[in-house]
């Protein structure tokens, strides 16, 4: 946990309040946490908090077909909104699939200070990194029409207490219009539940007890 805390302080510039609106490729996030970006359909799953443990997982043809079928079935229309809904269901499925391989299927949702070093547990750094990996797999397989994958960022203000701890999220960027950024936050809920998908500027604006609801 100390390693994660130090790294967050470094990335925040040692400021107690931080908001990252970070530009650049999502691959830069993987460098920040000393893990590998996906290569095609192969990812490195982060767990044990702050990517302390890393497990290589490959999504094969059977898994990709399940994901594609799920996204197609979920969409009610060919729109950016429906694509985000389909993405939420796909991310949930990918967490269940990888969780059965690594034991992170038993990940407890939200903040758990006892989880650091436990290979079955994931903090928001792990989740934002893994969700970004999953999104990049979707992008690599042309499952995203209206969005591209952005670089994860964090918000927080520890001057207000631990319930305002810097919290990380994965990011989708809508291609059209003003390129709206969407936070895709899988850390909040149990494995098997959909992540929250919300406008980045509206995400985590209060505290850890008032986070957005899962996409339905």
Average pLDDT, stretch 143-157? 90
pLDDT score of 159 more than 50: yes
Instruction: Please give the tally of structural domains in the chain.
Output: 1
Rounded CA-CA distance 25/18 in Å is 20
Query: Is 172 part of any domain?
Result: yes
Query: Is 10 part of any domain?
Result: no
Query: Is 80 part of any domain?
Result: yes
Rounded CA-CA distance 200/137 in Å is 21
Q: Where residue 167 falls among pLDDT bands split at 50, 70, 90?
A: confident
Q: Where residue 1 falls among pLDDT bands split at 50, 70, 90?
A: very low
Query: Is 30 part of any domain?
Result: no
Q: For residue 138, give its domain range.
A: 39-202
Query: Is 129 part of any domain?
Result: yes
Query: Is 69 part of any domain?
Result: yes
Query: Is 115 part of any domain?
Result: yes
Residue 215, Cα to own-chain centre: how many angstroms? 14
Query: Is 76 part of any domain?
Result: yes
Q: 19-28, 35-44, 63-72, 196-205: which range is least confident on average?
A: 19-28
CA 61, 195, 188, 25 torsion-angle sign? positive
């Amino acid at each position: 946990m100390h390693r994660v805390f130090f790294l967050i302080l470094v990335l925040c510039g040692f400021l107690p309040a931080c908001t990252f609106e970070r530009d650049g490729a999502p691959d830069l996030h993987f460098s920040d946490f000393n893990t590998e970006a996906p290569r095609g359909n192969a990812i490195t799953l982060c767990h044990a908090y702050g990517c302390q443990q890393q497990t290589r997982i490959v999504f094969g043809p059977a898994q990709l077909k399940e994901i594609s079928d799920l996204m197609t079935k979920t969409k009610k229309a060919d729109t950016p909104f429906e694509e985000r809904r389909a993405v939420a269901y796909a991310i949930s499925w990918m967490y269940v699939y990888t969780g059965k391989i690594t034991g992170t299927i038993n990940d407890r949702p939200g903040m758990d200070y006892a989880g650091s070093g436990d290979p079955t547990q994931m903090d928001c750094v792990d989740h934002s990194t893994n969700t970004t990996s999953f999104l990049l797999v979707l992008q690599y397989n042309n499952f995203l029409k209206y969005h591209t994958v952005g670089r994860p960022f964090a918000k927080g203000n520890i001057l207000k207490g631990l319930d305002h701890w810097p919290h990380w999220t994965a990011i989708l960027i809508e291609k059209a219009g003003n390129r709206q950024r969407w936070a895709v936050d899988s850390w909040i809920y149990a494995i098997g539940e959909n992540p929250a998908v919300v406008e980045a500027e509206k995400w985590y604006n209060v505290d850890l007890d008032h986070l957005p609801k899962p996409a339905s």
